Structure 1
Amino acid sequence: MTAEVLPALRAKVRAAAHPSAEACACGTDTSVLADRPDGTVVRHGRTVAKAHAPGTDRAGLTARLAVAAHPALDGILLPPHGPRTAELDGRPVTFWSYGTPVDRDDPDAAPWEEAATLLARLHRTPDTVLPPGLPPMRGPAKAARAVARLLAAGPHPAADPVLRAWAVLPAWARDESPMPENLRALCHGDLHLGQLVRSGNGEWLLIDIDDLGRGDPAWDLARPAAWFACGLLPPDEWSRFLTAYRQAGGTAVPADSDPWPALDVPARALSVQTAAQAIAKSVAAGRPLDEVETSVIDACDRMAAHPPELAPDFAT
């Protein structure tokens, strides 16, 4: 966000935090929680304002806000402060309560079970709750954008296995055709531990509705599944996550049989997305790939050699 616009967003969050006061009397600074091309988030006291990306689909955002505010999603999604949006430099602005994020410095306390339980509850949301204008979940579209960014970054020696792994995926996973109807449920679309916060009453909630929509619920399990397959997530943590999801009645995988036929394609797509982003970022920063990034690219090389219908597990 430009330096000229950020002060205006700070002013909006202060006004939202003190709607009846002429000036802020709480002595709280306004802090920037995130500032990326896809959204800028600032906090004042217990109130958070998010300026969404330029070009955001307004009707889609309105439908997503309606879902987050629906009583059926109480205790699952952090609700917005009302269904309306403000405007800032052509970008919609939404307001939320502040929640305590996951502690990145304490990986042993990562709320894998809580994340899995929230996902299972989200995936069981009745169709009657979902407004007619709710867009598709944006997971496949984000993966496709990551690959486009990789191509725009120019030639790179690590790009070939990533592009080959992308090419063997079905068209719907590359955002090139409609997702099959039997894969449609309410999905978060970009699940990782950074999308959980602990609310004021101590419960964990999912945040960030920008990718929320109908889609394949396995996509919400795909990032931890891909991390596990690439050796980045320890087996016990993956087991905790998957077990909690099943115990909570999650619909993305069978309750008592091999989950990989359902997870394989989404996990492959998330691996490609992660690898493509890593290469593009390394090119932009003029730095070599690190060990973690290289491990994901190596997984893409294995995936490319064994298309989904031939090898449902690319961990080895």
Structure 2
Amino acid sequence: MTTAVVRALGALAHDAAHPPTGAEAPCTCPAPTVLADRADGTVVRSGPVVAKAHAPDTDATALAARLALAASPALTGILLPPVPRPAGPAAPASTVHGRSVTLWPHGEPVDPADPDAAPWEEAAVLLARLHRTAPPTPPRAVRRAFPAMRGPAKAALAVARMCRARPGDPATAPVHEAWRRLPAWARDEDVAPPHRSRFLCHGDLHLGQLVRHPAPHGPWLLIDVDDLGLGDPAWDLARPAAWYAAGLLPPEVWLRFLDAYRAAGGPAVRADGDPWPDLDVPARALTVQTAALAFAKSAAEGRTPDEVEQMMIDACARIASLPHELAAEHSS
């Protein structure tokens, strides 16, 4: 990310945090802080406001629909709403160097140094509430229905990134085979089954997508609308399910998460009994996505996959070794 973009984001966040009052007192705020800087987004904080530059290929119309959804009263207490934009000449820029920009309240993120305090149950309840919310009618200004949840699209992008990073590498064969065994809708090549595609979904659930607002002790809320949309709610449970299946998430943590989701009436899985008929395809897709990104990132850094990355790659090998009839059992 260029210094110019970071500087522009810092200025936008600062201006939003300090609306003009006519006073000329000098500002004593700390310098803006870069919270994230990745290809899919750069995030800069100034005081209570965060400015995000979205990926260069972001569909601005779809983003507008997602912002409208995040601001909807129907999702109060579930999604962090964006900072309202003033109208007229005082309105902040909506793009920076050709990239869509959004403004958000700052929230207190999950502490990665305290895994025992990770809010798995709170995340499960928020997901259940999101999935149970009927999609509101988009405002007229949006001029389109809410877009599809981008989970399958992100999985396909991860596999494509792996292919570019490691062309012809035989070590990636299990990932390719596990990917090939997924149904077309999970590879973003077809629409999801109708009975599983009409729910509001986050699209990229992990613990980095939760903050406390107001910081630092407010309730937990979901953040990041880039993948928000209509789809299969099981996709939002797929990452913890995949981690559990690969041995990365302790069974007791997974069961707490699953039980909290069910207790809150979440529709992604049946109310009792075995959840895997509902979770199998999305969990396999997230396993492939994670393994593909592991290969891509390790190639970019000139190293072999680390221990955690290798566990997800090994999980793909187990998926690829299943008899075809078992791999396809829950694919519809």
Q: TM-score range by the shorter chain?
A: over 0.9
What is the aligned partner in structure 2 of residue 55 from structure 1?
A: 57
Counterparts of 2:134 and 2:122, CA distance in 1: 21
1:180 paired with 2:180, answer no
> What SS class does the counterpart of residue 4 from structure 1 fall into?
helix
1:253 paired with 2:265, answer no
1:139 paired with 2:141, answer no
Counterparts of 1:218 and 1:130, CA distance in 2: 24
Counterparts of 1:108 and 1:220, CA distance in 2: 21
What is the aligned partner in structure 2 of residue 97 from structure 1?
A: 105
Give, as a single letter, the amino acid of the residue that structure 1 aligns with 2:172: A
Unaligned runs of 5+ in 2: 87-92
Give, as a single letter, the amino acid of the residue that structure 1 aligns with 2:59: D
> What SS class does the counterpart of residue 176 from structure 1 fall into?
coil
What is the aligned partner in structure 2 of residue 290 from structure 1?
A: 306
> What SS class does the counterpart of residue 127 from structure 1 fall into?
coil
Q: How does 1:81-96 map to 2 (within 5 A)?
A: 81-82=83-84, 86-96=94-104
C-alpha displacement at 1:312, in angstroms?
Answer: 8.4
Root mean square deviation, CA, Å: 1.9
Counterparts of 2:145 and 2:291, CA distance in 1: 32
Deviates more, 1:151-160 or 1:273-282: 151-160
C-alpha displacement at 1:23, in angstroms?
Answer: 6.8
Counterparts of 1:301 and 1:89, CA distance in 2: 42
Q: Is the 8 A contact 1:230 1:295 kept in 2?
A: yes
Deviations 1:30-69 (A, max 9, x none): 1000011111100011111101111211110111001100
> What SS class does the counterpart of residue 50 from structure 1 fall into?
strand
Counterparts of 1:83 and 1:175, CA distance in 2: 34
Q: Is the 8 A contact 2:75 2:130 kept in 1?
A: yes
> What SS class does the counterpart of residue 122 from structure 2 fall into?
helix
C-alpha displacement at 1:161, in angstroms?
Answer: 0.3
Give, as a single letter, the amino acid of the residue that structure 2 aligns with 1:119: L
C-alpha displacement at 1:127, in angstroms?
Answer: 3.1
Deviates more, 1:243-252 or 1:74-83: 74-83
Unaligned runs of 5+ in 1: none
C-alpha displacement at 1:86, in angstroms?
Answer: 1.5
Q: Is the 8 A contact 2:110 2:207 kept in 1?
A: yes
C-alpha displacement at 1:307, in angstroms?
Answer: 5.8
Give, as a single letter, the amino acid of the residue that structure 1 aligns with 2:100: P
Give, as a single letter, the amino acid of the residue that structure 2 aligns with 1:120: A
Identify if the C-alpha distance between structure 1 residues 216 and 130 changes in structure 2 by more than 3 Å, giving closer, same or farther.
farther
Give, as a single letter, the amino acid of the residue that structure 1 aligns with 2:211: V
> What SS class does the counterpart of residue 310 from structure 1 fall into?
helix
What is the aligned partner in structure 1 of residue 291 from structure 2?
A: 275
> What SS class does the counterpart of residue 128 from structure 2 fall into?
helix
1:35 paired with 2:47, answer no
C-alpha displacement at 1:309, in angstroms?
Answer: 5.0
Identify if the C-alpha distance between structure 1 residues 231 and 24 changes in structure 2 by more than 3 Å, giving closer, same or farther.
farther
Give, as a single letter, the amino acid of the residue that structure 1 aligns with 2:174: P
Identify if the C-alpha distance between structure 1 residues 93 and 296 changes in structure 2 by more than 3 Å, giving closer, same or farther.
same
Give, as a single letter, the amino acid of the residue that structure 2 aligns with 1:198: R
Identify if the C-alpha distance between structure 1 residues 203 and 24 changes in structure 2 by more than 3 Å, giving closer, same or farther.
farther
Using the size of structure 2 for normalisation, the TM-score is 0.90
Give, as a single letter, the amino acid of the residue that structure 1 aligns with 2:115: P
Give, as a single letter, the amino acid of the residue that structure 2 aligns with 1:186: L
What is the aligned partner in structure 2 of residue 306 from structure 1?
A: 322
> What SS class does the counterpart of residue 35 from structure 1 fall into?
strand
What is the aligned partner in structure 2 of residue 223 from structure 1?
A: 239
What is the aligned partner in structure 1 of residue 19 from structure 2?
A: 19
What is the aligned partner in structure 1 of residue 212 from structure 2?
A: 198
Counterparts of 2:133 and 2:322, CA distance in 1: 35
Deviations 1:252-303 (A, max 9, x none): 0000121000000000000000000000111111111111111111110110
1:232 paired with 2:248, answer yes
C-alpha displacement at 1:133, in angstroms?
Answer: 2.2
Q: Between the two proteins, what is the percent identity of the paired residues? A: 64
Counterparts of 2:25 and 2:34, CA distance in 1: 20
Which of 66, 69, 80 is the matching residue for 1:67?
A: 69
What is the aligned partner in structure 2 of residue 208 from structure 1?
A: 224
What is the aligned partner in structure 2 of residue 189 from structure 1?
A: 203
Q: How many residues align?
A: 314
